[in-house]
Amino acid sequence: MTNDLLKYVLRRADSELVLGHRMSEWCGHGPELEEDIALINISLDHLGQSRSLYQYAAAVDGEAKTEDHYAFQRNERDFGNFLICELPNGHYGNTIARSFFYDVHSLLFYERLVHSADKTLAAIAEKSLKEVKYHFRHSAEWVIRLGDGTEESHAKMQEAIDEIWTYTGELLTDDELDIEMNKQGIGVLNSSLKDAWYNKVEAVLNEATLKIPEGAYFQTGGKSGIHTEHLGYLLAEMQYLPRQHPEATW
């Protein structure tokens, strides 16, 4: 039971951390100053959310581990993040499409997690939800701006949506752990978010004059630690310093 909860909390924390790290790679490279700042602010929210979750994981774990242990001392196969979070930034349309699909999921997920029987998770959800509303507004507005923009931006945005679509399946399906956590009143069934997710995504894509992809083949594996080749590189960069200099402090 404790073990299930730990795994469940870590998985969500991993998604927030990995996406937050990806977005931080834009620092100093944003397409314009305001966007550079916006992305880093959102990245910081994701990191903050992951910290709250890792701190809770440490408390559940009870083995004197710290939040840093989970972020910096675990290997690829131990990470349970959604695959979509680890995808490379690509061009701005890719970054926006990735965030957009994830943000819609987060919005719906945290809206329900607020009612979790686990009081700490409910509190983290309550806090995160307020932030995610701003994230969704940011990513959705950019989907619309680029989709309903020039011929070139439209084509690139559609391509990004189609490409990243294959990584959205995981956001809307459950594995044994999701089902078990939901049975205990702690977790949320991703499958229960499916209709609302689809409706929200469709509404934005319509507004953006983009087509909703029809592909029914989805990549999976993130939640069970089977990742794309991209995660290893991300972790290598993120974990290098704390692993090389375990005693380093600010």
User: What H or E segment, with its residue span, contains residue 99?
Assistant: helix 92-113
Question: Residue 203, CB half-sphere, CA atoms under 13 Å: how many?
Answer: 9
Closest CA relative to residue 144, chosen from 89, 202, 91: 202
Select 16 or 178, whichever has its Cβ closest to other proteins. 16
For 62-158, strand residue ranges (E) read none
Select 33 or 216, whichever has its Cβ closest to other proteins. 33
Kindly list the residues in this chain that would bind other proteins in the complex (CB under 8 A): 34-35, 37-38, 41-42, 44-49, 51-52, 119, 122-124, 126-131, 134, 137-138, 140-141, 203-204, 207
DSSP letter assigned to residue 190: G
Residue 152 C-beta: closest distance to other proteins, Å: 23
Select 199 or 224, whichever has its Cβ closest to other proteins. 199
Tell me which residue has tokens 């960069």.
237
Residue 147 C-beta: closest distance to other proteins, Å: 14
Is-contact 116 183, C-beta < 8 A? no
Residue 35 C-beta: closest distance to other proteins, Å: 8
Select 140 or 172, whichever has its Cβ closest to other proteins. 140
Report phi then psi at 126, rounded to 5. Answer: -60, -45
Residue 218 C-beta: closest distance to other proteins, Å: 25
